[in-house]
């Protein structure tokens, strides 16, 4: 029998894409989808251990006031869980160790990177080795972009994907690794999952197809197990064809391209022994 898919969509302190993220999990066939406010975790009323798919949606954690997701990452690292001896970070690491999937989109991706959950080379999940910072344009922008998927990537979310078209909506999406060694290691291990490309599928550094000037046009990365995945563009913003900016002029299937990522996650959990 297939494993039950239990998805948590985390919200609070400025997160704002939780509804559509939860909708995506539902459409993808998750058995249980809960939108959980972070205070429920901090008060021990909900536990990550009761779920196997954690969604970290987009938004502006604490306003991104100290840099995107910086204050949010600080909370994950230093907030205790009321009435228990645990810190929130320990619960999160426990979730990862037991094989849970994590998907971070936009601010959720920024959070993962700043905590060190991605790329987490060598399985070190609390050492930040890359970052996402201000777009070269110096501005927040909402525009649709083409992404080229890496077929060699271990990422469980993007199996079978080649080219996709999603919106980006961020001011701090420029990916920068700490060193060229980190980048080489990531590339060698195929942890670069998505790159910005032109409409024909060629990876590009040209604005606006590459909206932020990311190193090597990187728009999404995973960890070595492929179970942790983060990306700047928003798959949950393209669940129906009417989300596409040209749906009134192109023949499109009813289902939006973004749903495949969530379906892959659900399928992976269903087929996997925990």
Distance CA 196, CA 238 (A): 17
The yes or no reply on residue 71 touching other proteins (CB under 8 A) is yes
Question: Of 25, 106, 155, 222, which one is the catalytic site residue?
Answer: 106
Sort 228 into a burial class: Cβ within 10 Å, 0-12 / 13-18 / 19+.
buried
Choose the stretch contacting other proteins; rule: CB under 8 A; options: 48-56, 72-80, 149-157, 225-233. Answer: 72-80
Query: Angle 70-78/107-115 helices, nearest 10 degrees?
Result: 50
Find the binding residues for other proteins in span 36-55 (CB under 8 A). Answer: 37, 39, 43
The phi-psi region of residue 116 (left if phi > 0; otherwise alpha if psi is between -120 and 50; otherwise beta) is left
Binding-site size for other proteins (CB under 8 A) equals 65
For residue 152, the minimal CB distance to other proteins (Å) is: 25
Q: Say how many residues make up the chain.
A: 274
CB closer to other proteins, 13 vs 225: 13
Instruction: Provide the CB-side half-sphere exposure for 124 (13 A, CA).
Output: 7
Sort 255 into a burial class: Cβ within 10 Å, 0-12 / 13-18 / 19+.
middle
The yes or no reply on residue 62 touching other proteins (CB under 8 A) is yes
**Residue 106 annotated as catalytic:** yes
Q: What is the largest CA-CA distance in the chain?
A: 57
Distance CA 203, CA 5 (A): 34
**Residue 234 annotated as catalytic:** yes
The yes or no reply on residue 248 touching other proteins (CB under 8 A) is yes
Among 128, 190, 215, 216, binds other proteins (CB under 8 A): 128
The yes or no reply on residue 137 touching other proteins (CB under 8 A) is yes
Q: Which residue ranges make up the site for other proteins (CB under 8 A)?
A: 11-17, 19-20, 23, 37, 39, 43, 58-60, 62-67, 70-71, 73-75, 77-80, 114, 128-131, 133-144, 167, 169, 176-178, 213, 234, 236-237, 239-240, 242-243, 245-246, 248-249
Catalytic residues: 106, 234, 236
């Amino acid at each position: 029998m297939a494993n039950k898919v239990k998805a948590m969509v985390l919200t609070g302190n400025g997160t704002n894409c939780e509804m559509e993220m939860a909708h995506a999990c539902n459409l993808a066939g998750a058995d249980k989808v809960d939108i959980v406010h972070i205070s429920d975790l901090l008060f021990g009323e909900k536990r990550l251990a009761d779920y196997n798919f954690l969604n970290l949606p987009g938004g502006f954690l604490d306003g991104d006031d100290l840099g995107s997701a910086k204050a949010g990452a600080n909370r994950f690292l230093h907030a205790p869980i009321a009435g228990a001896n645990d810190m929130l970070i320990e619960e999160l690491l426990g979730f990862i160790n037991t094989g849970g999937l994590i998907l971070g989109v936009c601010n959720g991706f920024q959070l993962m990177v700043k905590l060190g959950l991605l790329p987490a080379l060598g399985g070190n999940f609390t050492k930040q080795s890359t970052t996402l910072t201000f777009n070269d344009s110096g501005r927040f922008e909402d525009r649709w972009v083409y992404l080229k998927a890496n077929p060699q990537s271990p990422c469980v979310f993007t199996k079978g994907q080649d080219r996709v078209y999603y919106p980006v909506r961020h001011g701090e999406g420029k990916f920068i690794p700490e060193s060229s060694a980190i980048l080489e290691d990531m590339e060698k291990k195929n942890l670069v999952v998505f790159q910005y490309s032109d409409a024909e599928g060629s990876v590009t550094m040209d604005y606006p197809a590459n909206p932020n000037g990311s190193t090597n046009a990187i728009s999404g990365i995973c960890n070595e197990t492929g179970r942790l995945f983060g990306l700047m563009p928003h798959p949950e913003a393209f669940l129906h064809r009417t989300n596409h900016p040209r749906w009134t002029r192109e023949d499109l299937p009813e289902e939006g391209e973004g749903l495949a990522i969530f379906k892959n996650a659900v399928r992976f959990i269903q087929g996997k022994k925990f």
